[in-house]
Amino acid sequence: MKAKTILLGAAIAASLAACATTTSPTGRTQYVGAVSQAELNQLGAQAFAQMKAQKPQTSNAGQRDYVACVTRAIISQLPANARSGWETAVFADNDPNAFALPGGKVGVYTGIFTVARNQDQLAGVIAHEIGHVLSRHHDERITRQMGAQALVGVAGAAAGNYGQLVSQGGSLVAQAGFLLPGSRAQETEADVVGQQLMANAGFDPRAAVNLWQNMIAAGGGRPPEWLSTHPNPQARIGELQKRAADLVPTMEAARRAGNNPRCG
């Protein structure tokens, strides 16, 4: 039993040695690298394929083109090595929901159109979700989950349950890293990165404020469940308003440079 624990501890140490600290786009220290970027992309592609197999997509070509247009405008502002291979899907679902995954996958639920009422507000949603990918939040969550699972694994080995934990751990960690909501720090960071992206693309950053106000109104004073980990709504609106005022000149410069989206 003791030997098993020692061996498992050595394996965990070797795995975590591959991890590293990095700095997020807003200057926050992150712990990432438990899985490679190629593995993250594969997990994103698998999750997206599963979603498309399980949920019906809209038959409305106008909605599909609209989402694709807004997404293209935003990804044009990503680093050059992150612009290719993006794919969008619009799911026929009344929830006001959206997501983006590593590997260039963006999913939007038709319910989002009830709160994102113009292209700038839709850009606020999509840019926020792409902000999660750009900020490596999936990588960060998986790395954190794997660290926690490793500690459980040591305890399990001591109790003789190592084999079962190993067989279950990988899928559970991957699922947690992709499906659990982000932390408040991550959600705030995605707001910051997303609002910058939308302004760089020529979308009006003030629309992010209107979007959040619409979401609160649609929820009867409460945000949708998928945004439950965001900071206090009124505090968030205040931060969005402050950044929007600073980003209006960025939007104006982007439009003068030819970034003037006309998606609908």
Which residues carry out catalysis? 129
What is the number of residues in the chain? 264
Whole-angstrom distance, CA of residue 205 vs CA of residue 195: 6
Q: Which two tokens stand for residue 220?
A: 């009867």
Whole-angstrom distance, CA of residue 131 vs CA of residue 139: 13
C-alpha torsion sign, points 189, 130, 122, 177:
negative
Q: Which of 219, 2, 27 is nearest to 115 (CA)?
A: 219
Whole-angstrom distance, CA of residue 233 vs CA of residue 35: 34
Beta carbons of 198 and 70 less than 8 angstroms apart: no
Strand partners, 57: 91
Whole-angstrom distance, CA of residue 42 vs CA of residue 55: 20
End-to-end CA distance of the chain: 64
